[in-house]
Amino acid sequence: MKDALETVKILAAYDLTKSLRGAAELSGCSHHTVDRLVQARDAGRAPGAVSDRPRVTDAWLPKIEEWVEKSKGRIRADVVHAKLAAMGYRGSDRSTRRAVSQVKEAYRRGNKRVHRPWITEPGAWLQYDFGDGPVIDGVKTVLFVAWLAWSRFRIVIPLRDRTAASVFTALERSFRLLGGAPTYVLTDNEKTVTTLHVAGVPVRNQQTLAFAKHYSIEVLTCQPADPASKGGVESSVKIAKADLVPKDTNLLNEYASFAELEAACTVFMDQVNAREHRTTRRRPVDMLAEEAASLHRVPDTAHTLAYGVGRRVPENMPMVSFENAQYSVPAHLLGAEVFARFHGTGPDAQVVIVHVGAGGPVEVARHALARPGSPAILDAHFPDHQEKVPGDYKPVPRSKAEAEFLGIGAGARTWLLEAAAAGAQRINVKMAEAVALAKIAGTGEVDKALGVAAIHHRFAHGDLASLLNAGGTRTGLRTAAEDKSLTQGTAGWAGLGTTGTREGTR
């Protein structure tokens, strides 16, 4: 077969000589070749094209097409050859493979799905999807990726999980980043949006409907195998994972904390949205400025689903239970409803508690992650609380007699605590005796004596009076000097038993 340049030269030589043999001598080929090329040109066919010749498989093509159609293009050529041979086919397996390949190619062209480009309009569609995020301190994170279809604006928010509270929080934050909410939100058929399918029709989640009503949006789920409608966000997920998840290919270091991952996502959004998009040839951040006029206003207060899981504070204890652990809230929220959700992972994981009042949502508490049985408590949430320590008692009078005794002073209170701890007998009788002595000897003296009795554990009957008397003797004692004493001395007895004494006596 002659190539294109040789074919053109042969035809040009014939046009010059108008002779088959003359053109053959000028071109260096057979005059039969010149004749074939000239006849093909005069017949309107491409010069040098191979003419269709009868094949051994032509008579069997209907049967081959039938088998390919029934198997939807999955039957193998060797199986076709075995079936044809059993039916009297005498051709080679090479011819069979060639025929089956041509029939399959025709089948694929006739049954190929044709995708039409999805043309969006400003402010209409927001798509979101999820990707596996990096592992931080052994905990796997989730990347929430949103894609505004017309402007190609991308949002990436790291999440702890894919629960309804986390997803709705990310959506609410996306609306605020965009400066408005779109008409439609498109996603997959996850449980937070679709509870089940009936006859192929998705049944919406009631929480999702309440969230959509609050923001005046319509949440839709995509059709299976429909890349034309949701391919934009899926492509954004691939790009986000390639740039944010540490791998051997991108040489990224492991994230030390969840806050570090949040900062990396913010930097990624600034980069991709400030870069010219290959389809629109414009920067998404510039197109968002135009599309913002087509977005409707976001409510001033977020829907409660975005705050987390609702919990009712008990009437007598400002604590709420969340994920098998307890967390304190301000005491003025007793009996109120609050919302708790997780934020972050690893050591910096936190539980955020929000209360929605007349003035809107307010974050009332933020705790580190607690363990079951070890509640997270802030002292500021328990005003005027006096911690009760076992064994540390405060005497409180409950009768007139007790009030009179404790009114003596600090010594009386100390005596009562020590006497009770020592198990003293007839304490009430001794307290009445102390009150009576206070009226005689004075409250101060009795209080001092009670303090001394408490220190030295003198709780027997008469010990208080003894201490009072001993204290009075020491304070009022007067002694005379040796020269003024009237007491008889012992000088006369000094010589008793001596010799001189005996003689004088005689």
Flag residues of the chain having pLDDT under 70.
Answer: 1, 48-52, 115, 224-229, 359-360, 385-392, 471-506
Residue 118 DSSP one-character state: -
- pLDDT at 15 (0 to 100): 92
φ and ψ at 215, to 5 degrees?
-100, 5
Burial class (CB in 10 A: 0-12, 13-18, 19+), 427: middle
- Tell if the pTM clears 0.85, that is, is over it: no
pLDDT digits (tens, 9 = 90+) for 48-92: 666 667 889 999 999 999 999 999 999 999 999 999 999 999 999
Tokens of 174: 């996306």
The beta strand positions in 346-387, using DSSP E, are 350-357, 360-368
3.40.50.300, 1.20.1260.10, 3.30.360.10, 3.30.420.10: which CATH number matches 125-294?
A: 3.30.420.10
The answer to whether 133 and 142 are in contact (CB under 8 A) is yes
CB burial of 474-499 (b: ≥16 within 10 Å; e: otherwise) equals eeeeeeeeeeeeeeeeeeeeeeeeee
Contact at 8 Å (CB) between 60 and 68? no
- How does pLDDT run across 176-195, given as a tens digit for each residue? 999 999 999 999 888 888 88
Q: Domain segments of the chain: what residues?
A: 4-42, 58-111, 125-294, 307-381, 400-471
The pLDDT of residue 32 is: 92
Q: What is the DSSP string of 63-95?
A: HHHHHHHHTTT---HHHHHHHHHHTT--S-HHH
pLDDT at 244: 93
Max Cα separation, the chain?
A: 204
pLDDT at residue 482 in the model: 59
